[in-house]
Amino acid sequence: MLGECVACGSQGRETHHVVFRSQGSYMRGIKVNLVPLCIQCHRGTLGVHNNKRLDLQLKVKLQFKLQEMFPEKWYDREQIQEKLECTDFDTTLILKKMCLYRYGYNAEQLVMRLLGGRLYD
Cβ–Cβ under 8 Å, residues 111 and 67: yes
**Per-residue pLDDT for 19 more than 70?**
yes
> Is residue 47 assigned to a domain?
yes
> Is residue 87 assigned to a domain?
yes
Coil, helix or strand for 105?
Answer: strand
Total structural domains within the chain? 1
> Is residue 84 assigned to a domain?
yes
Q: What is the pLDDT of residue 41?
A: 95
Q: What residue numbers bound the domain in which 88 lies?
A: 3-114
> Is residue 91 assigned to a domain?
yes
> Is residue 119 assigned to a domain?
no
Q: Is the pTM of this model over 0.85?
A: yes
**Per-residue pLDDT for 91 more than 90?**
yes
Give the C-alpha separation, 77 to 68, whole Å. 18
At 44-54, the pLDDT tens digits run: 999 999 999 99
Give the C-alpha separation, 45 to 23, whole Å. 21
> Is residue 64 assigned to a domain?
yes
Q: Please return the burial class of 44, using the count of CB atoms within 10 Å of its CB with bins 0-12, 13-18 and 19+.
A: middle
